Amino acid sequence: MKTFSLIFLFLFLVNCKEKTTNKNLNEAPIAQQEKLLYATGFSIEDFQDFKVLTIKNPWPKSEQTFRYALISKEMASKITLNKDDYDGILITPIEKIVVTSTTHIPGLELLNVENTLIGFPGTDYVSSEKTRALIDAGTIRELGKNESINTEVLLELRPEVVIGFGIDGNNKTFDNIQKAGIPVIFNGEWIEASPLAKAEWIKIFGALYNKKKEADAIFETIAADYTEAKAIAQQANNQPTVLSGAMHKDIWYLPSGTSSEAILLKDANANYLYSDTTEKGSLSLSFETVFEKAKDADIWISPSFYPSLEALEKANAHYTKFKAFKTGQMYSFVSTTGATGGVSYFEMGMARPDLVLKDLIKVCHPELMEDYEPYFFKKLN
């Protein structure tokens, strides 16, 4: 009788253990959806014992969805998830990470976890002093070019996750990394519709590092500063007309009216001359079409990568016929760089739209921002 009781107790305990350690989405408790204010490209669900990060349509015209389970170290030994349900199962907080775009670096730095970055493709493009110091110290390995990451070095580093981005879903390098058992999370911040939606992707890093409260607080501060700056811009008595972009070969590329760049100019209370266009992506126009509409624009912003008026004139003497060129009202972010030439705007601009907006208000309405020193945009010499 005693032996039978012990066997029954053992089977009971084993059965209970199996019920609490093997979970899939169908058996898990009802999830609590984490609140997002602007972003639509991802979601985070809290199932009490673990979280599920879902990435939706991470590149233009994508219909793919990716799901990742995030389990804290405390719970890792207590539950088992079905690998077939996810594109990756990660133990948090992450201790070793590889990111592939400079736009991902602010998410690490704002949360003070940049020391977990162990590899990056094209380290010369990094402008941040904090991350550059880690690169110079040799703790962040060079991984080659983004379109052809050195997978041999990456696999040697064995990161727990790679943060990638997709243009069209065809990336053999990421496929090989995933086949090696390293999850790749596709960051689609760059295709979000608004500046604040792009910035909200810091919450993904908050989930990966168990720093939800910190990520939420950082984003709330950025959003509040953005809203405050927008309100200041509405006090302006005038609305300057604005032109953007420049020629590449025979085509003038400039932001569409649906782009985040156009939204920033609108929020800066400027009259962007192409704000009524609805195309997705950039506009592609002839010089003659742009000149006819924008020759008398008050301000010309972001004239491609030209760093000076002289460089613009050498590229195309017709640029000198624009009013903004004649009056010197031309502004660009290309001269704000890090120690190795990385452009700060390309690294921080997406994460800090509040700073970009303040820069644009300073450009368009300097009387409203007299004591403000622009962070990215400087007048061309």
Kindly report the backbone phi and psi dihedral angles of residue 126, in degrees, each rounded to the nearest multiple of 5, phi listed first: -75, 125
Cα(243)–Cα(302) distance, rounded to whole angstroms?
9
Assigned token pair, 275: 């704000």
- From the CA atom positions of the chain, what is the Rg in Å? 25
Distance CA 193, CA 357 (A): 16
Write down all domains in the chain, each with its CATH number in brackets: 17-189 (3.40.50.1980), 234-379 (3.40.50.1980)
CA 24/CA 84 separation, integer angstroms: 10
pLDDT in single tens digits along all 381 residues of the chain? 444 443 344 444 444 444 444 555 545 557 789 999 999 999 999 998 999 999 998 998 888 899 999 999 999 888 889 999 999 999 999 999 999 999 999 999 999 999 999 999 999 999 999 999 999 999 999 999 867 799 999 999 999 999 999 888 788 889 999 999 999 999 999 999 999 999 999 999 999 999 999 999 999 999 999 999 999 999 999 999 999 999 998 899 999 999 999 999 999 999 999 999 998 878 999 999 999 999 999 999 999 999 999 999 999 999 999 999 999 999 999 999 999 999 999 999 999 999 999 999 999 999 999 999 999 999 999
Classified as helix, coil or strand, 226 is helix
Which helix (H) or strand (E) segment is 176 a member of? helix 172-179
C-alpha to C-alpha distances, 188 to 15, 56, 131, nearest whole angstrom = 42, 8, 22
Q: Which of 341, 68, 337, 331 is nearest to 207 (CA)?
A: 68
Backbone angles phi, psi at 215, to 5 degrees: -65, -40
Amino acid identity for residue 37 in this structure: L
**Of 27, 25, 18, nearest to 78 (Cα)?**
18
> Three-state SS for 204?
helix
Cβ-based burial of 356 (10 A; exposed 0-12, middle 13-18, buried ≥19)? buried
Cis peptide, bond prior to residue 58, ω within 30 of zero: no
